[in-house]
Amino acid sequence: MIIFRFIVLLFSLQSFVLDKDEIKAKLNEIIPDEISVDTVEDTYSPNFFSVELSDGSLFYVTADGEFIINGDLYQIEKNSLINFSDIRDSKKRINRILEINPSEFITFEPKEKKTDIYVFTDVDCGYCRKLHSEITNYLENGIQVNYLAYPREGLESDTYQKMKTAWCSKDPQVSLTTLKLGKTIKSDDCTKKIVSKHYNLAKEFNARGTPTIILENGFLLAGYHSAEEILNFLKK
């Protein structure tokens, strides 16, 4: 009975599809005057639109404009679930990353690049050190590694000072590698604010630890992932 009702609902959604302007007009009738509808966008499903309000609220609306879904929307595939919300967030993440001047990254470039990854790293993090110990493997697989600074213990920590030194260094690659080997380098307290900028961006992305890897499509991978795993993710 429940399945039957669900099927009927889907058919009803497909029968009374509103366009984006109609959805926007309907929402404007019910939201407070001080808030506006910023965007109404298609999703991979014809049954739902994604909506963003001027106050940053994000949700889904059924195509007939009758129901709002406040939460994640998943598509069921054969062996997995696709989170539409993460797809939407991925676009925002990669756009924010691409706003950064590339000179602010500590970058390791392959001879033949297949893809970029953006890695929020901490020089005192064990799994960050493991990832960096395999940097040759990433490069041989055509993965360009662009490091961003994320001292997990905050901007008053010893790790912050170490990472600030690496980003201030005349040879950031060597300095970062030295620190990740657990060695010390001469402190450099320059005026650059790159580390704090990256730290705040990681917080914006709700990064919960290090390494946090952002793929070139904006997908976020928490924790260490090998070069082979990253390439497999990009094939999905």
Pairing of strands 68-69, 58-62: antiparallel
Q: Is residue 91 part of a domain?
A: no
The answer to the question of residue 40 being in a domain is yes
- Same domain assignment for residues 118 and 40: no
**Mean pLDDT across 32-57:** 86
The single residue of 128, 129, 171, 190 carrying the catalytic annotation is 128
Q: Which of 88, 122, 124, 129 is catalytic?
A: 122
Report the CATH number that the domain containing residue 106 is assigned in CATH. 3.40.30.10
d(CA 169, CA 185): 10
* Span 149-158, average pLDDT: 95
Q: Does the pLDDT value for residue 6 go beyond 90?
A: no
The CATH code of the domain that includes 61 is: 3.10.450
Taking all residues of the chain, what is their mean pLDDT, rounded to a whole number? Answer: 87
Any domain includes 229: yes
Is there a catalytic annotation at residue 188?
A: no
Angle at which helices 172-180 and 158-168 pack, to 10 degrees? 150
Catalytic residue among 64, 124, 125, 129: 125
The more confident residue out of 31 and 198 is 198
Same domain, 123 and 171: yes
Catalytic residue, candidates 88, 93, 129, 152: 152
Q: Is residue 150 part of a domain?
A: yes
For residues 124 and 218, state if they share a domain. yes
213, 225 contact by CB (below 8 A): yes
Residues 127 and 222 in one domain: yes
- Domain shared by 133 and 230, yes or no: yes
Question: Does residue 126 sit in the same domain as residue 173?
Answer: yes
The least confident of 24-33, 138-147, 172-181 is: 24-33
State how far the Cα of 131 lies from the Cα of 211, in Å rounded to an integer. 8
Torsion of CA 115, 119, 124, 127, to 10 degrees: -60
Quick: pLDDT tens for 101-120.
999 999 999 999 999 999 99
88: in domain: no
pLDDT at site 236:
64
What's the rounded mean pLDDT across residues 73-92?
Answer: 71
The answer to whether 122 is a known catalytic residue is: yes
Position 99 pLDDT exceeds 70:
yes
If you search the block for the tokens 């070139």, which residue do you land on? 216
Answer yes or no: 190 catalytic.
Answer: no
pLDDT at 8: 45
Nearest Cα to 15, choosing from 69, 57, 62, 83? 62
Which of 24-29's residues contact partners 24+ apart within 8 Å by CB, and which partners?
26/65, 27/51, 27/61
Examine residue 2 and state whether it is found in any structural domain, yes or no.
no
| Per-residue H/E/C for 120-173 | EECCCCHHHHHHHHCHHHHHHCCEEEEEEECCCCCCCCHHHHHHHHHHHCCCHH
Residues 66 and 111 in one domain: no
The residue with greater pLDDT, 46 or 199, is 199
Residue 141 pLDDT > 90, yes or no? yes
Residue 80 lies in a domain: no
Pairing of strands 143-149, 115-121: parallel
Tokens of 133: 């110990």
Question: What pLDDT sits at residue 194?
Answer: 95
Residue 86 domain-assigned (yes or no): no
In this predicted model, which residue has the larger pLDDT, 51 or 138? 138
Residues 67, 127 within the same domain? no
- How many domains in the chain? 2
**What pLDDT digit, counting tens, does each position of 169-220 carry?**
999 999 999 999 999 998 877 878 999 999 999 999 989 899 999 999 998 8
Q: Give whole-number Cα distances, 201 to 94, 97, 99, 195, 215, in Å.
A: 12, 9, 11, 10, 15
Residues 119 and 229 in one domain: yes
More confident residue, 20 or 199: 199
User: Does residue 50 share a domain with residue 101?
Assistant: no
- Whole-model pTM above 0.85? no
Whether residue 7 is predicted with pLDDT greater than 50 in this model: the reply is no
168 is catalytic: no
| Domain span holding position 62 | 10-71
Q: How confident is the model at residue 79 (pLDDT cuts 50, 70, 90)?
A: low
Query: What separation in angstroms does the CA of 219 have from each of 75, 117, 144, 162?
Result: 16, 10, 16, 28
Same domain, 114 and 25: no
Taking the C-alpha atoms of residue 142 and residue 162, their distance in angstroms, rounded to an integer, is 29
Percent of the chain with pLDDT over 90: 52
Same domain (yes/no): 116, 58:
no
